[in-house]
């Protein structure tokens, strides 16, 4: 049912704007991850919520298992792209008189934003998984346009097999949706 809602929203957006798909001013949201690996599915949950709340003429929300080279074309037609994904907690290791110590620099449920610049585009045969910077580079190289892009990540706690988010991520989903909606509204006011 969830995938059907997202597919329907995408089809309606394309119909409303003609055969060319999304307009140059629309925002493309690519929410991705693996919902069968617990917190890795946070992108899916956020994407599904956005698909039901964002106006169709404002955003094209796509919920995906992974980023693939085929996304370069719709990225090239977007006015802006927001990638939504889970992130692993990071820690900083330092040495002191007592020995090695590690400190978590990102905590489960923490929401981070970063701007993404096009990376290098190299065609690699037999691969279907790419990163956001490579997709932007492909959009620029193949279609002549790479829009401004941003990555929202939510730091996960549990990436084991299973469905459902950890409590820290369940609590962070609404805040992430709120931040994306506010970000989109600010960008709309700039136009």
CB within 8 Å of 128: residues ≥ 6 apart: 66, 68, 69
H helix runs in 57-166, sequence order: 72-77, 132-143
Q: pLDDT digit string (tens) for 39-74?
A: 999 999 999 999 999 887 889 999 999 999 999 999
31 in Cβ contact with 50 (< 8 Å): yes
First to last CA, the chain: 34
Q: pLDDT digit string (tens) for 84-129?
A: 999 988 665 555 555 555 455 578 999 999 999 998 665 555 455 6
The enclosing domain of 74 has a CATH number of 3.40.50.1450
- Report the SS3 class of residue 151: strand
Distance of CA 120 to the CA centre of its chain: 19
Give the structural domain span for 98.
2-190
165 in Cβ contact with 39 (< 8 Å): yes
Mean pLDDT of 137-143: 95
Residue 106: half-sphere exposure toward Cβ, Cα within 13 Å = 16
Mean pLDDT over each residue of the chain, to the nearest integer: 81
CB within 8 Å of 107: residues ≥ 6 apart: 89, 155, 168
Q: For residue 105, what are its two tokens? A: 């620099």
pLDDT of 4 strictly over 60 = no
How many domains does the chain contain in total?
Answer: 1
């Amino acid at each position: 049912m969830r995938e059907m809602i997202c597919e329907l929203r995408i089809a309606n957006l394309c119909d409303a704007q003609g055969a060319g798909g999304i307009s140059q001013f629309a925002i493309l949201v690519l929410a991705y991850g693996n919902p069968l690996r617990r917190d890795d599915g946070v992108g899916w949950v956020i994407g599904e919520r956005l698909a039901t709340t964002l106006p169709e003429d404002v955003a094209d929300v796509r919920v995906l298992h992974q980023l693939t080279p085929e996304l370069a074309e719709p990225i090239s037609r977007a006015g802006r792209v927001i990638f939504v994904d889970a992130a692993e907690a990071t820690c900083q290791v330092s040495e002191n008189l007592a020995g090695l110590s590690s400190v978590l620099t990102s905590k489960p449920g923490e929401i981070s934003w970063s701007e993404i610049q096009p990376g290098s585009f190299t065609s690699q045969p037999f691969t279907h998984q790419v990163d956001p910077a490579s997709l932007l580079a492909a959009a620029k190289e193949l279609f002549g346009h790479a829009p401004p892009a941003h990555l929202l990540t939510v730091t996960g706690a549990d990436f084991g097999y299973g469905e459902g988010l950890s409590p820290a991520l369940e609590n962070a989903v609404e805040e992430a949706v709120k931040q994306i909606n506010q970000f989109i509204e600010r960008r709309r006011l700039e136009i």
